[in-house]
Amino acid sequence: MSYIPERHLCSQPGRGRLLLKLSMVLVLIMPTAVKVTGLCNGLTAGSFEKASEQKELYISFPVADAQGITDLGRLVSLDMISGDSAYAYISPHAFAGFASYGIPFSVLRHPGDIDFDPAMRSWDDIRNKDLTGNWDFYPEYEAYVELMYSFQEEFPELVKIYNIGQTVYGRDILFAQISESPGERRDVPKFMYTATIHGDETAGFILSLRLIHHIISNYGKDEGITELVRNTDIWICPNENPDGTYRNDNSTVAGATRSNLNGVDLNRNYPNPVNDPWDELQPETEVMISFTDTMNFIMSANMHGGTELVNFPFDSWRSDQKRHADHKWWEFVMREYVDTVHKYSPSGYMTGQGGGLTHGGDWYVVYGSRQDYFNYYRSCREFTLELSNQKLIASELLPDIWEYNYRSLINYIRQSGYGLHGKVYDNASGDPIEAVISIPGHDELGSEIVSSVPFGNYNRPLLAGDYNIVYSAEGYEDLFVEGVRIEDYQRLDVVIALGPQVSGELHSIVMDVEGEGYVDPFQGQRLYNSGANLSLEAVAEENWEFDRWVINGDEFFEPDMEVSVDADLEILAIFSEPLSVYDPGTTVTKSQLRVYPNPLEQNSVVSFEISEPGVFHVAIYDVWGKEAATIHKGFLQAGVHTMGLWGFYNHIGPGVYVVRLSGAGRESVQRIFHPGR
């Protein structure tokens, strides 16, 4: 640590070594489990409150075991373990309980008590600044809010700002949604970044703001960024604890605190599978839970400071006790993050815990972290990103932290698009289903995922391998799919219909387009389970017309149709441009040439009007331009003419055809459809 102690309390040599055993139960319940060789009676709760000026203090104390220290969580907010010392925050109301155990400790300079100019900027300063350059400043609180809304004002087609609730003090907790359809739900993975849940850990605050600006200003210019926004809904909350960051007033981050205004560490305040939070849920926690419970985020990260590493699940257990089911995927993705950082940073950066990555509980166990809440209860892959050894980092260092990390931040978002994806729907109605998608013998501790309405889509990052998948939903029999092959850095779409007469056998569906138009439900390749009803819809672009479907070589002429999947299918939707009407003289317009009823019936007729007599040719042609039938060829008087098509109807097969009227330098066409007899 680089902080110099301002005072030392009970730190005489040989006194008060804290010896905590791995097997101990909560220290407040069984204090005899703590062996104390000396007592510390020199500081009263009253003098502590005076020393801390009614705010938290930053302390260190010796530990013999990094795991046992977890049980002091009711009294202190453990920040980190370094060597044989623990570093923690403590609030005035908790000091009496902590001091009663006689643990020797030192009071250190609080990370928020800075001795440098944080380069605070007002909104007037920021809006006149070129934000494509260095972000070497901190915004005043009002400037932060204005900056967020300016993203929406400048890029309304990409950004929508959400105020999801207020802090204890009434400051806003803001999210930026970055999407090709902001304000709307899409059937794409939802990804989340948040920062500064600890108010004095500020590097992530500025990196998040800069990341928003980087993505939206490079959309349409950078192919990778454009593709990322097209296929992902990205949500970024730059400051989850503005009361902590702007603790003294809205004009400065100097004096920032870890805790919120109630003195509670928000990253120890989430429901936990081992120990629920010591303190009641705080407004900031409740707001975040309420919002994210509606979003079904697939991946996320929260940004911190105080060391330099990536910390992946779980915090609540050591890896030799319990691991995330996708522990190896976590190692793979975290190694990618750190290796990329090392490529673009100087030697020594992001090397915490030796290599720059750690399983949370192997560093030290804590309860109530947001990381464990999202992984265990929300099936969301979240990790903790520690960006800088200095918590409230000097503003001139912020551009360096950005340069070291921004590629890794983008790469981690991309991971949400890899692995297993798809939809689950009712085979009879086509309605989306909320289903549990799990991997037997693999999933545990909340790692299974759930498809979400209104689309029934699901997204599951996975390491390369072969997996058996179970799809379960209330009111349906479980569907087992065997041998699903996943590759790293690739996406596999598996669409599942639930209901009677379906099975887990998968078939490949390849759907493509010829001409100008689009098809629903997808274009590309996906796997469907056997027996699934696949509804097809073809929509032509302006000035184009739907021609036909070609499915495994067979032709179909209705733009909307349903196919039962019982084999691999290659589906092509063909769109064509309407035949031109050329006019060297007076043209007989398309509206003057009518075929009705159309699609054809035995009594269908072609009707047209000509303004002057002449020799005319009325014929029917197939889509390749070959004449299929002659209706009339010869002299016609001026006026309206109606001719029956019954002979053509009975002798020509089903398909798309064109009726053409030509003569006297005039031409008119009408497309017709023969449904078959």
pLDDT at 28: 27
The H-or-E segment that residue 191 falls in is strand 190-195
Provide CB contacts within 8 A for 652, sequence distance 6+. Answer: 620, 628, 629, 674
Rounded-to-integer distance, Cα 517 and Cα 514, Å: 8
Which residue has tokens 């950082």?
A: 341
Other beta carbons less than 10 A from residue 207's beta carbon: 28
Any domain includes 524: yes
Question: 349 and 486, same structural domain?
Answer: no
Q: Which helix (H) or strand (E) holds 648?
A: helix 646-651
Q: What is the pLDDT of residues 182-224, one digit of tens each?
A: 999 999 999 999 999 999 999 999 999 999 999 999 999 999 9
Please report, for the domain that includes residue 478, its CATH number.
Answer: 2.60.40.1120
- Do 513 and 545 share a domain, yes or no? yes
**Which residue in 564, 552, 558, 462 sits closest to 512, CA to CA?**
552
User: Do 411 and 425 belong to one domain?
Assistant: no
Last residue of a domain, one of 56, 79, 108: 108
Question: Does 399 lie in the same domain as 363?
Answer: yes
- pLDDT value at residue 340: 98
The pLDDT value given to residue 593: 79
230 in Cβ contact with 224 (< 8 Å): no
Query: Rounded to an integer, what distance in angstroms lies between the CA atom of residue 427 and that of residue 533?
Result: 6
Please indicate, yes or no, whether residues 436 and 386 belong to a single structural domain of this protein. no
Q: What pLDDT shows up at residue 36?
A: 28
Distance between CA atoms of 522 and 676, rounded to whole angstroms?
29
- pLDDT, tens digit, for every residue of 4-27? 233 333 332 232 322 232 222 222
516 plus 468 within the same structural domain: no
| Three-class secondary structure of residue 17 per DSSP | coil
Domain boundaries, position 341: 120-415
| Tally of domains in the chain | 5
Predicted confidence at residue 511, as pLDDT, reads 97
Q: What's the CATH number where 626 sits?
A: 2.60.40.1930
Q: Give me the pLDDT at residue 496, please.
A: 98
- Distance from C-alpha of 584 to C-alpha of 298, rounded to nearest angstrom: 62
In a domain, 655, yes or no: yes
Count of other CB atoms within 10 angstroms of residue 186: 15
Give the DSSP H/E element, type plus range, for residue 615. strand 614-622
Task: Please tell me the predicted confidence (pLDDT) of residue 68.
Answer: 57
What is the pLDDT at residue 256? 97
Asked if residue 582 belongs to a domain, the reply is: no
Residues 166-184: tens digit of each pLDDT: 999 999 999 999 999 999 9
Give the predicted TM-score (pTM) of the model. Answer: 0.81
For residue 442, what are the contacts with CB-CB under 8 A and spacing of at least 6? 325, 467
On whether both 169 and 300 belong to a single domain, the answer is yes
- Asked if residue 617 and residue 549 are part of one domain, the reply reads no
- Sequence-separated contacts (24+) of 330-338 with Cβ below 8 Å: 330/359, 330/381, 330/383, 331/357, 332/463, 332/488, 333/412, 333/415, 333/461, 334/310, 334/383, 336/408, 336/411, 337/310, 337/408, 337/411, 337/412, 338/309, 338/310, 338/408
**Do 381 and 470 sit in the same domain of this protein?**
no
CB atoms closer than 10 angstroms to residue 320: 9
Q: pLDDT below 70 — which residues of the chain?
A: 1-54, 65-71, 578-592, 677
CA distance 480 to 462: 18
- Specify if 115 maps to a domain: no
Collapsing DSSP to helix, strand or coil, 403 comes out as helix
Please list, residue by residue across 324-351, b when 16 or more beta carbons sit within 10 angstroms of its beta carbon and e when fewer do: bbbbebbeebbebbbebbbeebeeebbb
Check residue 447 and give its pLDDT.
96
pLDDT at 139: 98
Q: Is residue 500 a contact partner of residue 476, using CB atoms and an 8 Å limit?
A: no
